[in-house]
């Protein structure tokens, strides 16, 4: 499968786990990009988005697989600029920077895990 985007988790903010448990969401952001947001995001290495993420693509977050079901209007743009998007797990998003995915279980948030988007 063709990899569109690949990064490695470098930090998990204290509130990031709460967002996952309470809102079924994970906020991604390039490491060090906005230090004031570090507590609520999953920071990762800087990556290059080789091609736009589209409905039907696959997401692998650590050892957990998902299928992309919706991509907000500006999600690809914000990933290119700041490595930023909000991933909604098993729910539909309506905000322009969100990517909705479906899977069997939520990801575990661990430093050194890979986050990869693959072409459908």
Q: Which residue matches tokens 């079901």?
A: 69
**Tell me, what's the pLDDT at 120?**
84
**Tell me, what's the pLDDT at 47?**
96
Give CA angle at 13 (106, 111), nearest 5°.
Answer: 65
**Tell me, what's the pLDDT at 36?**
87
DSSP letter string, 50-77:
-S---TT-EEEETTEEEEEEEE-TTHHH
**Tell me, what's the pLDDT at 77?**
98
Mean pLDDT by 10 residues, the chain (120 residues): 95 94 95 91 97 97 96 97 96 92 92 96
Domains and CATH numbers, the chain: 3-118 (2.40.33.40)
Sign of CA dihedral 69, 115, 84, 106: positive
Give CA angle at 60 (59, 66), nearest 5°.
Answer: 55
At 99, list the tokens: 């990517």
The separation between CA 119 and the C-alpha centre of its own chain, rounded to angstroms, equals 15
**Tell me, what's the pLDDT at 34?**
87
């Amino acid at each position: 499968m063709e990899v569109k985007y690949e990064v490695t988790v470098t930090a998990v903010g204290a509130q990031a786990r709460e967002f996952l448990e309470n809102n079924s969401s994970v906020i991604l952001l390039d490491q060090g990009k906005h230090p004031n947001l570090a507590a609520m995001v999953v920071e990762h290495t800087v990556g290059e988005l080789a091609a736009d993420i589209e409905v039907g693509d696959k997401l692998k977050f650590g050892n957990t697989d998902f299928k992309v079901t919706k991509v907000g209007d500006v999600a690809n743009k914000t990933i290119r600029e700041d490595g930023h998007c909000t991933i909604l797990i098993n729910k539909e998003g309506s905000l322009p920077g969100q990517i909705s995915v479906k899977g069997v279980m939520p990801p575990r948030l661990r430093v050194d895990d890979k986050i990869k988007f693959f072409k459908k």
